[in-house]
Structure 1
Amino acid sequence: MDQHTAAATDQLLGEGDMPPVHEVNAGATSPFLLTSDHYGRALPRALGDLGITEAELTRHIGWDIGIAGVADRLADMLGAQLIAQRYSRLVIDCNRPPAAASSIPVISEATTIPRNEGISEWERAARRREIFEPYHDRIDAAITRRLNAGQPTVLVSLHSFTPVYAGVVRPWHIGALYNRDTVLPQLLLKHLRGEGDLVVGDNEPYAVSDLTDYTIPVHGEARGLVNTGIEIRQDLIADQSGQQQWAERLAGILAAILGEIAVEQTAKRPV
């Protein structure tokens, strides 16, 4: 489908394309709401291969390697709702503000993305409308439902990171990410360090900000939810065994700190 045909149909996704949102345990009563912005690496049929090789598409530039297996298992273990996004971050990055240059990247690390160069405003809008917005609208609706029902909600945004970036080795096994709200991240850091066998990143390998992130600032902080980002090193979760082990570890830790979150929140209330 060329741009003229696409414009005529006013649609990017068509027959044979999967829905953008993957959801597990909709309506779950667990306080945890899990999200995964870079869960999948699907491409709309209209965009072909984006002009890059399959080997490039399966690298970390295309998605968060291993996080899908962790997210699904963790949702099952916690009985928690998971809302995830199936399309490659190279089509549109669902953890970037739409106005950011990295929202639809023309280069990722050293890899150019030819199909993203010089695209029309119509196509940019179509990617937002058909992939980005349905995903974030679903998260927003889930939070609204939960808040209206008086259901405690803790937002956990799941990601993975590459062991080496720009030639620099990253020593961390896992990191807790945050911006303004430090309640859950600090408890998470304490429990992760208490495991005794982990190198734990405090806002490493990334820090959350309004300019570079979307899910935590918009759905966590703006809605007043206790929240954290979790980054797991990709080589640790590249296979099913690693995904299972890390899901089990996180399930135990997150379940253990639920009571501490309540204590923290109670302690912060004015007398």
Structure 2
Amino acid sequence: MTEILAESFKVYGQDGGGPFVLVSDHAGQAIPPTLDGLGLSADERARHIGWDIGIDGVGRKLADALPAVLIEQVYSRLVIDCNRAPGHPTSIVTQSDGTAVPRNQSLSMQDRAWREQAILHPYHQRITQELDARLAQKRAVVVVALHSFTPVMREVARPWHVGLLHNHDSRLAHIMIDLLRAEGLVVGDNEPYALTDTSDYTIPLHGEQRALPHIEIEIRQDLIAYPEGQADWAARLASLLPQAWRIFCTRYEQRP
């Protein structure tokens, strides 16, 4: 594979001086031209298997509202999942939710390495750069990973409006869970997914390994599939995230 790709990420918003760095691992749908759409129809690529539906709109509106910087992956998770460690069994899936991905079958080590070097690593290097710059200024930093989830998976309905995922440091997640539940929402605590040492990559790498406060948010896709819902959730998070951070700083005696 010798194709040269454009940057694998986009940066939105601006640093408003707050602690939040927003990241979105599955916001894009792009596929390198030489992969011929991975052998899938446009309808299949547009499903939840290809990207986190609606999270692009939420992330950009949230970045504007806080304001904050958003680092967003532009390539489809079917090309390579930027929330999986290199070499993880689901880093490059051969099938997803019952759909086989023809161009991901029997990949060579060279093809896998190219996707990692062209897409995965530059995205995470950009996140690292953003965090390093703020820490060098001795600023407080909170990593906020934005995701969305399909309302039905394997014919099982998911009742949660939003889920908060956490593992080794649950402090900020638990504060946010309480704030969201106070709004009358059905909030998943490590639902519909659980954050573990091996299931995810972004929060373990940029949050846990650095001992930075962090939060991983999953919003149900039918709630943010359209601009109105995206605006509603961006406004909600723009209000609650600063509240959660103030509570965190008071409770754990951290510099705001």
TM-score, normalised to structure 1's length?
Answer: 0.91
AA aligned to 1:150 is K
* Cα distance between partner residues in 1 of 2:22 and 2:188: 20
Helix, strand or coil: the match of 1:229?
strand
1:101 aligns with 2:92: no
AA aligned to 2:148 is S
**Residue 3 of structure 1 aligns with which residue?**
none
* Cα distance between partner residues in 2 of 1:98 and 1:37: 14
Runs of 5+ consecutive residues of structure 2 not aligned to the other structure: none
AA aligned to 2:220 is R
AA aligned to 2:195 is V
Contact 1:12 1:130 in 2 (8 A): no
Aligned length: 254
Contact 2:13 2:60 in 1 (8 A): no
1:119 aligns with 2:107: yes
Of the two, which has the highest radius of gyration?
1
* Cα distance between partner residues in 1 of 2:178 and 2:155: 30
Quote the offset at 1:19 in angstroms. Answer: 2.0
* Cα distance between partner residues in 1 of 2:86 and 2:199: 10
* Cα distance between partner residues in 2 of 1:168 and 1:27: 40
TM-superposition CA deviations, 1:119-163 (whole Å, max 9, x none): 111111110001000000011111111111111101110000000
**Residue 191 of structure 2 aligns with which residue?**
204
AA aligned to 2:4 is L
Helix, strand or coil: the match of 2:243?
helix
- Percent identity over the alignment? 48
* Cα distance between partner residues in 2 of 1:80 and 1:174: 21
Match 1:175 to one of 155, 163, 175: 163
Residues 203 and 90 (structure 1), Cα distance of their counterparts in 2 relative to 1, 3 Å cut? same
**Residue 68 of structure 1 aligns with which residue?**
56
**Residue 13 of structure 1 aligns with which residue?**
4
**Residue 132 of structure 1 aligns with which residue?**
120
Quote the offset at 1:258 in angstroms. Answer: 2.1
Contact 1:91 1:127 in 2 (8 A): yes
TM-score, normalised to structure 2's length?
Answer: 0.96
Quote the offset at 1:26 in angstroms. Answer: 5.2
Helix, strand or coil: the match of 2:53?
coil
Match 1:242 to one of 212, 229, 232: 229
Contact 1:51 1:115 in 2 (8 A): yes
Contact 1:30 1:81 in 2 (8 A): no
**Residue 85 of structure 1 aligns with which residue?**
73
Match 1:262 to one of 244, 249, 252: 249
**Residue 129 of structure 2 aligns with which residue?**
141
Quote the offset at 1:27 in angstroms. Answer: 4.6
AA aligned to 1:12 is E
Runs of 5+ consecutive residues of structure 1 not aligned to the other structure: 1-5
Quote the offset at 1:12 in angstroms. Answer: 3.2
